[in-house]
């Protein structure tokens, strides 16, 4: 049986998994008893970021061979526990790169320009033309924290728009070939230099013990007062309270937060973000577009079926 606990492209389920024994319920993640019943028969499990694939879940799935991840973040999956039980984990590598890259560029342009802030004024009949003289993205410095494939897709777009791109990635040496791409160069920098010199800082790191709260009040204080911070990586990498405080005091120019320490953000946690200036909030959709959902879903179907077929051979 293939058990799918969160939403995916329905055509990929219907056509890609036709003839298979499949349980597909986009809300199954929120029905633990039902999920436990299905896990007893599961040979494959397909999840997004909410299903916690921890030992407690794995104990309920004695026949599990493979976990298909409809995305690339693996912080909801205990990789060691899966490895110890011989369960393969297949992330949808590369399939949502373009979606996240477009989100980063889109929110950077939106926040630099400030052009979204006029509706109430225009409706009220005022004409705040001078106040809304925003900034261009061309000529600005984009600082990428982490330089994996999503960051590279973002850098390519930024270079095409006339930005200078710098990046901090402790896993890459200064002589790595990745800094010179066919579309241009990216300059490796220390984290401090990147924070101090970037107009837009975007995060592209997984959530680990090393990256938790890496953008805290001290890191934000190193950034320019007019800088834009974009977190489409994972909540927990950015200190939310420090970001809100900096936006309110004007020591940070703007922020786009797509991911949060607690997801889904409930009304109580959400209240902390009410009336914060120059803040764009989105519900973890940077990696989810119509197109990426299609790519991610079909890639995951292929990954899971390939794995099950290899096991049977
Ligand atoms: O990790 C990812 O790739 C993104 O967060 C998208 O995955 P999700 O749809 O499971 O959130």
Residue 150 pLDDT greater than 90, yes or no? yes
Mean pLDDT, the chain, rounded, equals 97
Distance of CA 134 to the CA centre of its chain: 27
Fold agreement (2-95+290-312, 97-281)? yes
> What are phi and psi for residue 189, nearest 5 degrees?
-135, 165
Instruction: Give residue-wise pLDDT tens across range 216-266.
Output: 999 999 999 999 999 999 999 999 999 999 999 999 999 999 999 999 999
Whether residue 287 has its Cβ less than 6 Å from ligand 1: yes
Active site residue 117: no
Is 263 one of the catalytic residues? yes
- CATH number for 2-95+290-312 (one of 3.90.79.10, 3.90.190.20, 3.40.50.720, 3.30.70.1150): it is 3.40.50.720
Q: Is 99 in the pocket of ligand 1 (CB under 6 A)?
A: no
Q: Which ligand 1 atom minimizes the distance to the CA of 284?
A: 11
Pairing of strands 44-47, 2-4: parallel
Contacts from 216-220 at CB under 8 Å and sequence distance 24+? 216/242, 217/242, 217/245, 217/246, 219/191, 219/195, 220/246, 220/251, 220/252
Fold of the CATH domain 97-281: Rossmann fold (3.40.50)
Question: Residue 173: what pLDDT?
Answer: 97
Judge if pTM exceeds 0.90. yes
Q: Kindly write down the DSSP assignment for every residue of 75-131, as one continuous string.
A: TTB-HHHHHHTT-EEEE-TTTTHHHHHHHHHHHHHHHHH-TTS-HHHHHTT---TTT
Domain boundaries, the chain: 2-95+290-312, 97-281
3-state SS class at 222: helix
- pLDDT attached to residue 25: 98
C-alpha to C-alpha distance for 164 and 157, rounded to whole angstroms: 11
Tokens read off for 155: 């850098």
Task: Give yes or no: 80 in active site.
Answer: no
30-86 pLDDT, tens digit per residue, is 999 999 999 999 999 999 999 999 999 999 999 999 999 999 999 999 999 999 999
Q: What is the pLDDT averaged over residues 130-151?
A: 97
- φ, ψ for residue 70, nearest 5 deg: -80, 60
Regarding an ipTM greater than 0.85, the answer is: yes
CB of 71 shorter than 6 A to ligand 1: yes
Query: What is the pLDDT confidence band of residue 312, given thresholds at 50, 70 and 90?
Result: confident
Q: Is the CB of 284 under 6 A from ligand 1?
A: yes
Say whether pLDDT at 155 is over 90. Answer: yes
Residue 6 CA: nearest ligand 1 atom is 10
> Which atom, in ligand 1's list, is nearest to the CA of 91?
3
Q: How far is the CA of 246 from the centre of ligand 1 (A)?
A: 27
Q: Which of 38, 157, 284, 307 is catalytic?
A: 284
Residue 179 has pLDDT above 90, yes or no: yes
Residue in the block written with tokens 């008893």: 33
Which pLDDT score, from 0 to 100, does residue 311 have?
85
Residue of 48, 89, 235 with the most ligand 1 atoms within 8 Å of its CB, for mutation: 48
Question: Which has the closest alpha carbon to 247: 279, 213, 216?
Answer: 279
293 CA to middle of ligand 1, Å?
10
């Amino acid at each position: 049986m293939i058990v799918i606990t969160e939403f995916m492209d329905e055509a990929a389920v219907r056509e890609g998994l036709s003839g298979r024994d499949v349980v597909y319920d986009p809300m199954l993640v929120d029905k633990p008893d039902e999920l436990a019943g299905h896990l007893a028969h599961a040979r494959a499990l397909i999840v997004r970021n909410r299903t916690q694939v921890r030992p407690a879940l794995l104990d309920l799935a004695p026949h599990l061979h493979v976990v298909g991840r409809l995305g690339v973040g693996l912080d909801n999956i205990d990789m060691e526990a899966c490895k110890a039980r011989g369960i393969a984990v297949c992330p949808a590598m590369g399939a949502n790169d373009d979606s996240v890259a477009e989100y980063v560029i889109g929110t950077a342009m939106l926040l630099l320009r400030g052009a979204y802030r006029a509706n109430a004024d225009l409706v009220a009949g005022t004409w705040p033309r001078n106040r809304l003289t925003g900034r261009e993205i061309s000529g600005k410095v984009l600082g990428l924290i982490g330089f994996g494939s999503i960051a590279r897709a973002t850098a390519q777009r930024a270079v095409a728009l006339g930005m200078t791109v710098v990046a901090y990635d402790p896993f890459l040496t200064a002589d790595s070939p990745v800094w010179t791409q066919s579309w241009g160069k990216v300059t490796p920098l220390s984290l401090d230099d990147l924070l101090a010199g970037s107009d837009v800082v975007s995060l592209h790191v997984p959530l680990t013990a090393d990256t938790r709260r890496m953008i805290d009040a001290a890191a934000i204080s190193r950034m320019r007062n007019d800088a834009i911070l974009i977190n489409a990586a994972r909540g927990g990498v950015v200190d939310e309270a420090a970001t809100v405080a900096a936006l309110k005091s004007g020591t940070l120019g703007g922020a786009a937060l797509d991911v949060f320490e607690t997801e889904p953000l409930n009304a109580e946690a959400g209240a902390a973000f009410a009336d914060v200036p120059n803040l764009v909030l989105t519900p973890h959709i940077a990696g989810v577009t119509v197109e990426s959902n299609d790519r991610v879903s079909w890639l995951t179907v292929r990954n899971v079926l390939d794995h099950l077929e290899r096991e049977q051979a």
